Structure 1
Amino acid sequence: MGKVTRRGFLGGTAALGGAAMTVELTGLTKPAQAAGGPPFGPVVVRPADPRYDDLAVRRTNQRFRPQPDYFHVVGSTEQVVAAVNEAVRAGRRVTVRSGGHCYENFVGDGAQVVIDMCEMSEVYFDAERGALAIEAGATLMQAYRKLYLGWGVTIPGGQCGGVAAGGHIAGGGYGPLSRRDGLTVDYLHAVEVVVVDRAGRARAVVATRNPADPNHDLWWAHTGGGGGNFGIVTRYWMRDPNATGGDPAKLLPRPPAEVLSGVAVWSWEGMTKESFRRLLRNYAEWHVRNSVPGSPQVSLWGSLLIPGRQAGADPGGMVLPAQIDASVPDAERVLRDHFAAVADGVTPEVFVPPLIRDPWFQAVRTLSLGAESESGRYKGKSAYLRKPFADEQADVAFDALHQAGDVSSRGLLWLLSYGGQVNTVPPAATASVERQSILKALHLVTWDEGQDGAAHLEWVRRLHQRTFAATGGVPVPGGGSGGAYINYPDIDHADPAWNTSGVPWSTIYYGDNYARLQRVKARWDPRNVFRHALSVRPPA
């Protein structure tokens, strides 16, 4: 697999931030400047500067390399406003990067100025707003650490610790606590965004959850509308909408004190097509039966990884890591019953090593992926699943992954736990429209420098297309599918060569919420300054 491990890619689209610092971990309303000095930046880095190449490679998908006229590394909202004003006045195309975890070339494609948010990475309690603030460049691991050590709380975000808040939250955000607690955006209290008006002037706007807020529609657009659409997010404020009072230790979910985790493993050796069907069906049906909010089972989260068969004596196999809140009554039984239900009737026999019990933050650090383990050349294609794969769809995966080959051995089908509390929110309440699915599916392939990238792209495209052949090669919402996840963007969904469904890409990602997102776009980005291959289009 090269530099990309098969554990990664849970986090979303934006990422790698710099070190965060506050005066102390509790009770403060504003972050302090490092060592009492002036704020960072701004820093403009042009191609002749030796730092340029370092900034150009600061991304996880090595398929793409941004080569703008300059990178603008910022340290405050005011600096973002100034940077955008300068670029717009000069007629330069602007893109933004929280860290670079994008599946597609949204940062580099046509960019003349890349505004880099990595040094805006503070996490702190804002007493004035009564919410916990996370700047756009803060990585999820930085946010988890500060929120937990400071106040004993967390957000239900992704498992990839190097992903940053900037794009992750805007695209919806989900992770191991989402079945219990919902999506990350279900806790979005307010967002600060640098927007550009019709005259080309940039300014910072704060939009809140309050329906009476005249900027409320901009808040709504950032509850799943995706990054790079309406402006540049500089910070988010997070608070449980049901929380009362101003104690920061009571404003967000408390994570489990301990996590009980384990893994189930099946070998490719002896795995038949019929048994493979059973494995996929068992896994999905467990989620159909066990996604009732408040039940012990929604505290269980897992991800079934099915890598391509390897050549040689050890063909590898399917791996199901899963974890549960250790305080759930009979947690060990629930976890073992999960493994048994998935393994029921499947041959070869499942192997389950001893379970592991860890404090929550230790488990997060152990199970999280850093930026290094996510980097490489890759192509990912996602889908929400409302029902188990049909046998025909399981057969497509088996045929693509079972036969060992130079390309298929670098491929992966990934089925991630979903549903539960996520599905209690009405589809129109947030821009994250899909609130019916039980699993997320990801088709992925990776390759190394010097290998035939075109062959690997063709392989994963065919796998995705054949999986959803009954709906034109894409996961059209309705029936067994629920569309696709914008934090795993795939430009092929907008390509009629790969999407023959007649359903536009915007419906696949946004469903009935797209028209409202277009109205928000028209109001807040009337010049279409912030755009990419799958950005929200201004209304006709």
Structure 2
Amino acid sequence: MNTRSDVAGPVAESIGGKAITTVLPGDDRYQELTVGHNTRWVGTPDSVKVVHTAGQVVQAVQEAVNANKRIAVRGGGHCYADFVFNPAVQTVIDMTQLDEVSYDPFTKSFVVEAGSTLLHTYQALYKGWGVALPAGLCYSVGIGGHISGGGFGLLSRQYGVTVDHLYAVEVVTVDRHGRARCVMATREKRDPNRELWWAHTGGGGGNFGVVTRYFFRSPDATGSAPADQLMTPPKDVYLSAVALPWADFDQEKFTALVSHYGDWHERNSTVESRSHGLTSLLVMNTRADGVIGIITQLDASVPGAQQLIESYLGEITSAAGVTARPLTQSVGEQGPLPAFFTPRKLPWLTSVRMLGTNNPELTNPTLRSANKSAYHREGFTAAQAGALYKHLTRPDFTNTVANIMLFGYGSKVNTVPEEATACAQRTSIFKALYATQWSTPADDARNTAWLREVYGEVYSATGGYPVPNASTDGCYVNYPDLDITDPAQNTSGARWSTLYYKNHYPRLQQIKKAYDPRNVFRHSQSVELP
């Protein structure tokens, strides 16, 4: 226990046998609790309140509202932007200790507290009941923000996005009188709070209140046993990882690789395709890294699964006229995977643990990063592929970690009507993540400049951003991009709200008005009051 004075030390507030810990400036822990996973973002709040229960969240919110303190919420994982840690925030509510996973027989759903991380959630659900969520790849992503933004992962082409399995959400909101309360909202048609549930199926984090618990039950669930209420992941998966040496590429071969990735996904992103569950990441690091990587996963129970992977890889690589080799070095956020040059069968949870933790960059506690995203309905044009090639091979930018990753999407995701959830992008075939990471502030300018230049040129025909049209479908709200609100960077004519939410934004604004009329929960890209 810190023995400093009350000004510097923790303040305990007892609720139900547990305690809120309030960490103030001067406490030894303060510097650790006021910096983001992306260490570009450092806050100076008056206090950080570490909570353990929903009741404590209500109290922490009420105290901040009473004192007119600006609130931000830290979930279990990380945020690319400065939504939590910035100079305006005075009270940070830290949810990282609110991380239990359980089963609720009353709602026949699995309850995941908002501070839980993905790997903790996967292991608890699978070991306890043999069920899972089609959520993200990185082990340390926090459930709190991941779900509300419409999280996706390697199982999404087979099972949809996470919010397709969201039954209910528990949220601490603040009414027009300034009263904090805990609200339960379900997908039931007659639920008076159903709109609040809908807002959390892709409407983004930090917009409507503090999520304390998510309740998951698949929409087609039958029976009464817990294991029947949520999707069952594959018993085993085939995993493949190959490297394509940059030395084998010129612009023509690179364009062929990128084009055939898009062509394959255009043909195989419906549930009728035999390969509808095959998910493949094309990870294009800069030439300085030495290789381009392709990581592929498919449910091992699919007839001819191994052959489907090999056929896919053959189509992508032979079209470019390059020969795949074992992946003996890192690509993007993945470390070496040389043992998977030939597709290898693994138990599903083993594959999750391995891929989720095999990312040395994301375990770097000094990580600084910048990111941009795009949904694609069609593959890249030759001009766009040329822009990718130009910036990935620039001799003046040699960050080996910087990369552009294409992540297979569609299939089951696209069977859900656009209006059914706030996750509006339901016709895309892959997502693109443009990312660069580094460790020192001295490298901020050159990394952010490179990212702006490659992204701006790829989407130059539409004002530097992937506007919703026949080829692209906006941006992913869980990969927030601070440039999206800058008219000097975004000259597309499409507002950030359209790029993230498309035609759903006015509905989200009305929900904001109903549940956060005082705009207590806000950040630089939060849903605005109408």
Using the size of structure 2 for normalisation, the TM-score is 0.92
- Partners of 2:64 and 2:70 within 8 A in 1: yes
**Of the candidates 332, 354, 377, which is equivalent to residue 366 of structure 1?**
354
**Of the candidates 54, 61, 65, which is equivalent to residue 88 of structure 1?**
65
**Of the candidates 307, 313, 318, which is equivalent to residue 344 of structure 1?**
318
Matched, 1:108 2:81: no
Aligned residues: 498
**Of the candidates 300, 309, 323, which is equivalent to residue 297 of structure 2?**
323
1:39 deviation in Å?
5.0
Q: Give 2:97's aligned residue.
A: 119
Deviates more, 1:361-370 or 1:438-447: 361-370
For 2:310, the aligned partner's letter is R
Superposed counterparts of 1:398-409, under 5 Å: 398-407=389-398, 409=400
Superposed counterparts of 1:425-440, under 5 Å: 425-440=416-431
Q: Which deviations, in whole Å up to 9, do the C-alpha atoms of 1:486-521 show, x marking residues without a partner?
A: 000112111100111111110000000001000000
| Separation in structure 1 between the aligned mates of residue 206 and residue 134 of structure 2, nearest angstrom | 22
**Of the candidates 406, 410, 413, which is equivalent to residue 415 of structure 1?**
406
Q: Give 2:382's aligned residue.
A: 391
| Separation in structure 2 between the aligned mates of residue 177 and residue 99 of structure 1, nearest angstrom | 22
- Partners of 1:265 and 1:350 within 8 A in 2: yes
| Separation in structure 1 between the aligned mates of residue 399 and residue 139 of structure 2, nearest angstrom | 28
| Separation in structure 1 between the aligned mates of residue 359 and residue 60 of structure 2, nearest angstrom | 27
For 1:507, the aligned partner's letter is T
1:536 deviation in Å?
0.5
- Partners of 1:378 and 1:446 within 8 A in 2: yes
| Separation in structure 2 between the aligned mates of residue 345 and residue 371 of structure 1, nearest angstrom | 29
Matched, 1:332 2:306: yes
- Partners of 1:229 and 1:535 within 8 A in 2: yes
Deviates more, 1:427-436 or 1:370-379: 370-379
1:452 deviation in Å?
2.5
1:357 deviation in Å?
1.4
**Of the candidates 372, 377, 382, which is equivalent to residue 373 of structure 2?**
382
1:443 deviation in Å?
0.9
- C-alpha change, 1:340 and 1:447, in structure 2 (3 Å) is same
- Partners of 1:408 and 1:459 within 8 A in 2: no
**Of the candidates 225, 229, 238, which is equivalent to residue 251 of structure 1?**
229
- C-alpha change, 1:371 and 1:116, in structure 2 (3 Å) is farther
| Separation in structure 2 between the aligned mates of residue 532 and residue 203 of structure 1, nearest angstrom | 21
User: What is the DSSP-based 3-state SS (H/G/I as helix, E as strand, rest coil) of the residue aligned with 1:298?
Assistant: coil
Matched, 1:60 2:37: yes
Q: Give 2:180's aligned residue.
A: 202
For 1:289, the aligned partner's letter is R
Q: Give 1:484's aligned residue.
A: 475
- C-alpha change, 1:47 and 1:445, in structure 2 (3 Å) is same
| Separation in structure 1 between the aligned mates of residue 395 and residue 222 of structure 2, nearest angstrom | 56
| Separation in structure 1 between the aligned mates of residue 194 and residue 439 of structure 2, nearest angstrom | 45
For 2:136, the aligned partner's letter is G
Deviates more, 1:340-349 or 1:162-171: 340-349
Q: Give 1:267's aligned residue.
A: 245
| Separation in structure 2 between the aligned mates of residue 50 and residue 402 of structure 1, nearest angstrom | 45
Q: Which deviations, in whole Å up to 9, do the C-alpha atoms of 1:73-119 show, x marking residues without a partner?
A: 00000000000000010010000011341110000121100000001
1:406 deviation in Å?
4.1
- Partners of 2:77 and 2:117 within 8 A in 1: no
| Separation in structure 2 between the aligned mates of residue 67 and residue 325 of structure 1, nearest angstrom | 46
1:275 deviation in Å?
0.7
| Bigger relative contact order, structure 1 or 2 (CA pairs below 8 A, ≥6 apart) | 1
Q: Which deviations, in whole Å up to 9, do the C-alpha atoms of 1:310-347 show, x marking residues without a partner?
A: 1xxxx511100111111110111001011011113213
Q: Give 1:153's aligned residue.
A: 131
- C-alpha change, 1:249 and 1:121, in structure 2 (3 Å) is same
Q: Give 2:262's aligned residue.
A: 284
Q: Give 2:274's aligned residue.
A: 296
Matched, 1:468 2:467: no
| Separation in structure 1 between the aligned mates of residue 513 and residue 445 of structure 2, nearest angstrom | 37
1:296 deviation in Å?
3.3
User: What is the DSSP-based 3-state SS (H/G/I as helix, E as strand, rest coil) of the residue aligned with 1:269?
Assistant: helix
Q: Give 1:516's aligned residue.
A: 507
For 1:75, the aligned partner's letter is H
| Separation in structure 2 between the aligned mates of residue 382 and residue 145 of structure 1, nearest angstrom | 29
Superposed counterparts of 1:31-70, under 5 Å: 39-57=17-35, 59-70=36-47
1:52 deviation in Å?
1.1
**Of the candidates 183, 196, 203, which is equivalent to residue 161 of structure 2?**
183
For 1:465, the aligned partner's letter is G
- Partners of 2:403 and 2:434 within 8 A in 1: yes
| Separation in structure 1 between the aligned mates of residue 236 and residue 416 of structure 2, nearest angstrom | 28
1:410 deviation in Å?
4.1
1:48 deviation in Å?
1.5
Q: Give 2:436's aligned residue.
A: 445
Q: Give 2:201's aligned residue.
A: 223
* RMSD (Å), alpha carbons: 1.5
- Partners of 2:260 and 2:319 within 8 A in 1: no
Identity of aligned residues (%): 44
For 2:163, the aligned partner's letter is V
| Separation in structure 2 between the aligned mates of residue 103 and residue 444 of structure 1, nearest angstrom | 10
| Separation in structure 1 between the aligned mates of residue 80 and residue 307 of structure 2, nearest angstrom | 38
- Partners of 2:509 and 2:529 within 8 A in 1: yes
| Separation in structure 1 between the aligned mates of residue 105 and residue 475 of structure 2, nearest angstrom | 37
**Of the candidates 344, 348, 356, which is equivalent to residue 356 of structure 1?**
344
1:369 deviation in Å?
3.3
Q: Give 1:233's aligned residue.
A: 211
User: What is the DSSP-based 3-state SS (H/G/I as helix, E as strand, rest coil) of the residue aligned with 1:523?
Assistant: helix
| Separation in structure 1 between the aligned mates of residue 130 and residue 76 of structure 2, nearest angstrom | 26
Q: Give 2:487's aligned residue.
A: 496
- C-alpha change, 1:222 and 1:394, in structure 2 (3 Å) is same
For 1:76, the aligned partner's letter is T
Q: What are the ranges of 5 or more consecutive residues in structure 1 without an aligned counterpart?
A: 1-36
- C-alpha change, 1:404 and 1:259, in structure 2 (3 Å) is farther
1:161 deviation in Å?
1.2
